[in-house]
Amino acid sequence: MTCEEIWLVKPTLELEKEALKYRQEHFDFGEQVINGSELFDKISSYSEWLEKVIANASLKTVDPNWVLTDTFFAVRVSDNKIVGIVDLRYRLNDFLKDFGNCGYSVRPSERRKGYATEILRQICLVAKEHGLKQLQLSVEKDNVASIKTIEKNGGEFSRSFIFENEEAYVYLLRL
């Protein structure tokens, strides 16, 4: 099945109900980490999370322990359902040097439909519009679906590293 049209939308208060359903589906599926969510999986209050997301999207208000980051929900055009989330970090600090410029997740019930590939394609366009020449992405070596997503978008294997006793790969995606 191919994905339906999606657009990347910055989080708003109006999206709270749909966003909480999105997060809960990950939890119900046994996933405690939602990649690319700027800690949406760790902060219980949507409004508190939204404040942090908005603050981290501005050079004037970005958390000193964070980097300038834009976070987007991937919203399906036909029904306004959130099918994924992605964040774009405009530079890498010491913590992010292995992890990279962006992370993304797709709602468990919407996987294997091409949404991750489309989310990554669209976030590459955003990165290019902001002057980035390449994106660095990391992926656990066993995450075959994400590796395929990165490779479909032109990602090239760069190196591997160990995180929490697990091997992970770093890919570079030229824009």
- What's the pLDDT at 117? 97
The pLDDT of 54-60, averaged and rounded, is: 97
The pLDDT of 123-143, averaged and rounded, is: 97
Cα–Cα distance between 8 and 10 in angstroms, integer? 7
Query: Which tens digits make up the pLDDT trace of 151-174?
Result: 999 999 999 999 889 999 999 999
- What's the pLDDT at 1? 52
Compute the 3-state secondary structure of the chain and give helix, strand, coil in percent, each to the nearest 5: 30, 30, 40
Query: Which tens digits make up the pLDDT trace of 5-45?
Result: 999 999 999 999 999 999 999 999 999 999 999 999 999 99
- The encoded tokens of residue 158 equal 């760069």
Q: Global pTM?
A: 0.95
- What's the pLDDT at 150? 98
Q: How far is CA 28 from the centre of its chain?
A: 20
- What's the pLDDT at 168? 96
Cα–Cα distance between 9 and 95 in angstroms, integer? 27
- List the one residue out of 150, 121, 124 whose CA is nearest residue 138: 150
The pLDDT of 68-74, averaged and rounded, is: 98
Residue 100 DSSP label: B
- What's the pLDDT at 41? 97
Domain boundaries 6-132, corresponding CATH code: 3.40.630.30
- What's the pLDDT at 4? 86
* Residue ranges of E strands in 10-165: 69-76, 82-89, 102-106, 134-140, 156-163
Look up tokens 């991937």; give the residue: 74
Cα–Cα distance between 173 and 158 in angstroms, integer? 10
> Across the strands, what pairs with 166?
163
Write the single-letter amino acid at 77. V
Query: Which tens digits make up the pLDDT trace of 114-129?
Result: 999 999 999 999 999 9
Look up tokens 């292995």; give the residue: 98
15, HSE (Cβ side, Cα atoms, 13 Å): 21
